[in-house]
């Protein structure tokens, strides 16, 4: 929303509200927007258009007042489509994971190539100075969000589908329904356009029998039109994988990627396929991967506690957490702890077993009270439920070979009788202050602590 507000500020007076003011809203205020905390229905009377995101309820006081007073309203996805229509061509990056990183990679590549484009990114990108950039309108580069099918308002010339799996259980019933909406997105590509997606066979359903006027380009590690082969770790800890790039089976170049993780090799390949489809010179794009500074809250250094490094990441899905822990194992030699804040009750319930399994990949686990976002407790499971299940499983696994293993940390909203003590694998904290105390007490035992989640968990840094 803040990136769209920045775009609107180029032409219009802009005002807006948020539950809590933050660095993004402060930046908008410095740029000339009127931003306020909370809700003021009277403000909408002064507007000719009110834009709202998918998390806003129909009974929101400002939205309700706008409709009652006859002020035109538009969902964020509808307004995004209007913005996209200002460009000659639209590049839309979709997928359950990796959208922000690939959109940021593309934006940095177009900027370095001095191509006329403007970009809308769902995260802060140091290489373009924020989440919005504008140096022309031949291309519009944007994230395309699948939640509630919002990306179906777009008709891109180039559509990237990075991956598809079950998510947003408050809206989608199962993985099949998620695949179905991505197929509909692929069908919205303009005539003569290009669909870029992973070469894995499971994605064939997204392009099988697709219109013949759409070109399909695939990418993968050891497979696809854009293929990464001979992956090897860089001797320099400031870099992730080095790989050999093959296109249509022919060796093209050695690529040095600054970002950690095999998933970021795939992100680089997707970026290359999209820039090739746009006619951008390939060599500067490849060279740019070695300089790209990443995206905020994506394996972002957050300082340290003593000698222990803190790394922040937006990961909130089991697959993302698995990739994050694997990347941390590549970058750090010692023990790794994870601090996880579940995001939404429904996601925690739907993917509960997967969360329990993947979080055991850390050497130590801290769980912070959930970030509910738009949801209420009756919609699923809580962080405390996750904490209890993980420790119960640890107790069961070790009971045969050791004395009983217990957990530490009590939910203040549960009866005292549900408390388990005194040894632990995971620890639960209901507040930042409590969590900070736990981190300080054991940071000396770890090389890295991962601060993980899509909510407000990054606020822990103020307590450390």
**What CATH number does the domain containing 311 carry?**
3.90.190.20
pLDDT one-digit tens code per residue, 17-50: 888 888 889 999 999 999 999 889 988 888 999 9
State how far the Cα of 218 lies from the Cα of 49, in Å rounded to an integer: 40
310 lies in some domain: yes
The range of the structural domain enclosing residue 404 comes to 300-463
Q: Which has more pLDDT, 276 or 171?
A: 276
- Mean pLDDT, range 395-419, rounded to an integer: 47
- Mean pLDDT, range 296-304, rounded to an integer: 84
Write down the mean pLDDT value for the chain: 88
Task: Band the pLDDT of 412: cuts 50, 70, 90.
Answer: very low
- Mean pLDDT, range 193-215, rounded to an integer: 95
State how far the Cα of 28 lies from the Cα of 200, in Å rounded to an integer: 41
Instruction: Verify that 245 and 97 share a domain, yes or no.
Output: yes
Instruction: Verify that 61 and 105 share a domain, yes or no.
Output: no
- CATH number, domain containing residue 34: 3.40.50.720
Task: Band the pLDDT of 397: cuts 50, 70, 90.
Answer: low
Task: Band the pLDDT of 55: cuts 50, 70, 90.
Answer: confident
321 lies in some domain: yes
Where is the domain boundary, 75, 104, 125?
A: 75
Instruction: Verify that 225 and 357 share a domain, yes or no.
Output: no
- Mean pLDDT, range 418-428, rounded to an integer: 57
pLDDT above 90: residue 410:
no
Instruction: Verify that 56 and 116 share a domain, yes or no.
Output: no
Q: What is the DSSP letter of 371?
A: B
* Predicted TM-score of the model (pTM): 0.82
294 lies in some domain: no
- Mean pLDDT, range 205-216, rounded to an integer: 95
pLDDT above 70: residue 398:
no
Check residue 58 and give its pLDDT.
86
Instruction: Verify that 310 and 250 share a domain, yes or no.
Output: no
pLDDT above 80: residue 421:
no
Where is the domain boundary, 75, 99, 115?
A: 75
pLDDT above 50: residue 411:
no
- Mean pLDDT, range 418-433, rounded to an integer: 68
- CATH number, domain containing residue 213: 3.40.1190.10
Instruction: Verify that 178 and 312 share a domain, yes or no.
Output: no
Instruction: Verify that 309 and 366 share a domain, yes or no.
Output: yes
Check residue 160 and give its pLDDT.
98
pLDDT above 80: residue 406:
no
Check residue 401 and give its pLDDT.
47
R_g of the chain computed on alpha carbons: 23
Instruction: Verify that 283 and 333 share a domain, yes or no.
Output: no
Instruction: Verify that 212 and 133 share a domain, yes or no.
Output: yes
Task: Band the pLDDT of 169: cuts 50, 70, 90.
Answer: confident
Tell me which of 153-157, 203-207, 339-343, 413-417 is least confident.
413-417
80 lies in some domain: no
Task: Band the pLDDT of 399: cuts 50, 70, 90.
Answer: low
Query: Distances from the Cα of 93 to the Cαs of 52, 72, 108, 111, in angstroms?
Result: 21, 28, 14, 17
pLDDT above 80: residue 408:
no
pLDDT above 90: residue 191:
yes
Where is the domain boundary, 57, 75, 93?
A: 75
Check residue 423 and give its pLDDT.
41
What percent of the chain clears pLDDT 70, i.e. is strictly above it? Answer: 94
Instruction: Verify that 319 and 401 share a domain, yes or no.
Output: yes
411 lies in some domain: yes
Instruction: Verify cis geometry, omega within 30 degrees of 0, for the bond prior to 451.
Output: no
Tell how far CA 38 is from the center of its chain. Answer: 25
Q: By the 8 A CB rule, do 267 and 98 touch?
A: yes
State how far the Cα of 44 lies from the Cα of 23, in Å rounded to an integer: 23
pLDDT above 90: residue 441:
no
Q: By the 8 A CB rule, do 429 and 411 touch?
A: no
List the alpha helices (DSSP H) in 157-253: 175-187
295 lies in some domain: no
State how far the Cα of 460 lies from the Cα of 464, in Å rounded to an integer: 7
Check residue 391 and give its pLDDT.
83
Tell me which of 231-235, 387-391, 414-418 is least confident.
414-418
Instruction: Verify that 55 and 89 share a domain, yes or no.
Output: no
Q: By the 8 A CB rule, do 261 and 330 touch?
A: yes
Domains in the chain, number: 3
pLDDT above 80: residue 442:
yes
pLDDT above 60: residue 319:
yes
- Mean pLDDT, range 347-352, rounded to an integer: 91
- Mean pLDDT, range 60-88, rounded to an integer: 94
Instruction: Verify that 125 and 50 share a domain, yes or no.
Output: no
In this structure, what is the dihedral angle of CA atoms 98, 381, 370, 309, given to the nearest 10 degrees?
A: -60
- Mean pLDDT, range 297-324, rounded to an integer: 87
């Amino acid at each position: 929303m803040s990136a769209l507000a920045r775009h609107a500020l180029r032409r219009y007076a802009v005002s807006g509200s948020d539950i809590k003011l933050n660095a993004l809203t402060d930046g908008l205020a410095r740029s000339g927007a009127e931003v306020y905390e909370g809700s003021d229905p009277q403000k909408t009377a002064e507007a000719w258009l009110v834009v709202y995101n998918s998390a806003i309820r129909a009974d929101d006081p400002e939205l309700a007042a706008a409709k009652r007073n006859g002020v035109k309203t538009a969902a964020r996805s509808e307004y995004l489509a209007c913005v996209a229509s200002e460009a000659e061509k639209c590049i839309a990056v979709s997928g359950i994971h990796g959208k922000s990183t690939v959109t940021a990679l593309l934006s940095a590549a177009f900027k370095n190539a001095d191509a006329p484009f403007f970009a809308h990114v769902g995260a802060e990108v140091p290489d373009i100075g924020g989440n919005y950039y504008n140096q022309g309108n031949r291309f519009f580069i944007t994230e395309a969000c699948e939640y509630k099918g919002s990306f179906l308002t777009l008709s891109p010339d180039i559509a990237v589908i990075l991956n598809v799996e079950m998510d947003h259980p408050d809206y989608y019933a199962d993985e099949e329904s998620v695949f179905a909406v991505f197929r509909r997105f692929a069908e919205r590509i303009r005539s003569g356009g290009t669909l870029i997606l992973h070469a894995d066979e499971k994605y064939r359903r997204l392009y099988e029998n697709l219109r013949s006027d759409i070109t399909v380009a695939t990418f993968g590690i050891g497979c696809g039109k854009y293929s990464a082969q001979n992956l090897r770790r860089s001797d320099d800890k400031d870099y992730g994988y080095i790989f050999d790039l093959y296109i249509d089976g022919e060796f093209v170049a050695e690529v040095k990627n600054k970002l950690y993780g095999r998933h970021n090799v795939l992100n680089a390949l997707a970026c290359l396929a999209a820039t090739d489809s746009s006619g951008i010179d390939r060599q500067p794009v490849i060279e740019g991967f070695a300089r790209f500074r990443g995206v905020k809250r994506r394996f972002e250094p957050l300082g340290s506690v003593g000698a222990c490094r803190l790394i922040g990441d937006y990961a909130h899905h089991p697959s993302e957490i698995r990739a994050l822990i694997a990347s941390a194992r590549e970058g750090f030699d010692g023990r790794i702890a994870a601090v996880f804040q579940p995001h939404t009750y429904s996601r925690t319930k739907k993917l509960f077993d997967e969360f329990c399994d993947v979080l055991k990949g850390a050497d130590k686990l801290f769980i912070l009270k959930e970030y509910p976002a738009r949801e209420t407790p009756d919609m699923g499971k809580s962080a405390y439920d996750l904490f209890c299940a993980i420790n119960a499983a640890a107790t069961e696994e070790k009971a045969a070979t050791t004395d009983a293993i217990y957990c530490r940390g009590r939910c203040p909203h549960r009866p005292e009788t549900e408390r388990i003590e005194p040894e632990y694998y995971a620890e639960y904290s209901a507040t930042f202050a409590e969590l900070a105390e736990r981190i300080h007490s054991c940071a000396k035992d770890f090389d890295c602590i991962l601060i993980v989640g899509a909510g407000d968990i990054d606020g822990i840094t103020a307590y450390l």
